[in-house]
Amino acid sequence: MIRVLSALVALLFPLIATAADDFALKDGDTVVFLGDSITAARTYGEIIENYTLLRFPERRVKFFNAGWGGDTAAGGAARLERDVFSRGATVVTVAFGTNDIGWGVLADDEHQQKYLDGIRSIVTQCRERNVRVFVCSAAVTAGDPDKSETAPLQTMCDQGMKLARDLGGESIDVQRGMREILRRVLAENERIKKEDKPTTMHAPDGVHLNELGQLAMAFTILKGLRAPQDVSSATIDFESATTVETARCQISDVAKPGDGTFEFTRLDQGLPINFGLFWALNFRFVPVHSELNRYELAVRNLPAGKYLLTVDGRGVGHYSASQLTDGVNISSSTTNGWEPGGPWDAQATSLRSLTEARSHLANSELMWGKNMLGSDNRPAIAEQVEAIDNQLRELQRTVARPMPYRFRLSRVEEGSDK
């Protein structure tokens, strides 16, 4: 009977684990980001792509960008076959609204109804093709966040999101999510000196997004896709050199070589997302660190003192014994702000370059196909682009794949930075 129950648990556990994982992007999905120029900038889509590759490296998910400058919901509906269905999409995010009402100049009933008709067409067509569709409200503009809450753009998008849900799709309120981040930015600007340059989420036109704005949009969409906050966690006991508890990682080869050092090997199921130099400064506005990127380590029963944590020889941070007892989030920690911290940071930074390379490749093909209509080379170029893109996808997966890291805690003198 015990063997039968053990076998049954072994069979059911993967099913239970899968059911508990509610992230919307599944193994085998092809995701298309459909939208206007904010989508065509590609940045928020790249962040979502990198997050998925790092956090769920076992899932083979493809990503395509179908942003088109100046487009509207009606325009997006008209090009679904060409830009979405032809790519084999199983998931599409939809982000329109600002152009639909002429940046607010055409916020009349006629244009708002045209937007709603476009959303209805997009959701209906996607549902007929069994494509899961997430209708997003438009990105927040740089206007007063209190006034924009009841402005035509938000109220129109509210109707669009409700319509999507009524038709069997899903919705993500990007605008309200970004508005909370905008409030943090404005509050910070009020505290700085008048001569200091204020932080902004937008280009000078107050509509298009800079890097901070794109990060805010990616964060809000990821939350809407039910992205988990926890990467993995490990709790280890120093005195007994044993593993206390783990989640989404394995600990092995725990050792105490002497001189107050403590070592172990950690293999994670997924990795945290990082963005390279200085991007972590944006986390004071966009809570990626705490809400999407919890990569935690706790070590109990350490002798009092200060410790240097290195991973595969890379400096990650200095922590007190009490901090390590409580647990620390080391996802973006480094002892040198000019270099990546742990090896997972270097992997994420490398992945970011590869994802950007895919975007440059896609833009090159788009410009050639759009403007070189008389060229006989178009089919050959498209074929080569597809081949290179497939190679880049495989390289992305290789770079994002978790590997065993050797952690080392070393006692250091109080006040030491080494």
> Of 252, 247, 291, 290, whose CA–CA distance to 269 is shortest?
247
Domains and CATH numbers, the chain: 2-224 (3.40.50.1110), 229-418 (no CATH)
Q: How high is the pLDDT of residue 9?
A: 32
Q: How high is the pLDDT of residue 279?
A: 82
- Cα–Cα distance measured from residue 229 to residue 202, given in angstroms and rounded to the nearest whole number: 26
Q: Which residue carries 């919890």 as its tokens? A: 294
Q: How high is the pLDDT of residue 369?
A: 58
- Cα–Cα distance measured from residue 75 to residue 355, given in angstroms and rounded to the nearest whole number: 27
Q: How high is the pLDDT of residue 14?
A: 39
Name residue 331's amino acid.
Answer: S
Residues (pLDDT < 70) of the chain are 1-20, 368-375, 414-418
Token duo for residue 165: 């849900």
Name residue 106's amino acid.
Answer: L
Instruction: Tell how strand 30-35 and strand 91-95 pair up.
Output: parallel
DSSP 240-270: TTEEEEEESEEEEEEEEEETTEEEEEEEESS
Q: How high is the pLDDT of residue 341?
A: 85
Q: How high is the pLDDT of residue 278?
A: 79
Q: How high is the pLDDT of residue 13?
A: 33
Instruction: Identify any residues that bridge with 296 across adjacent strands, giving them in sequence order.
Output: 233, 329
Give the C-alpha distances (Å, rounded to integers) separating 300 from 242, 257, 410.
10, 17, 15
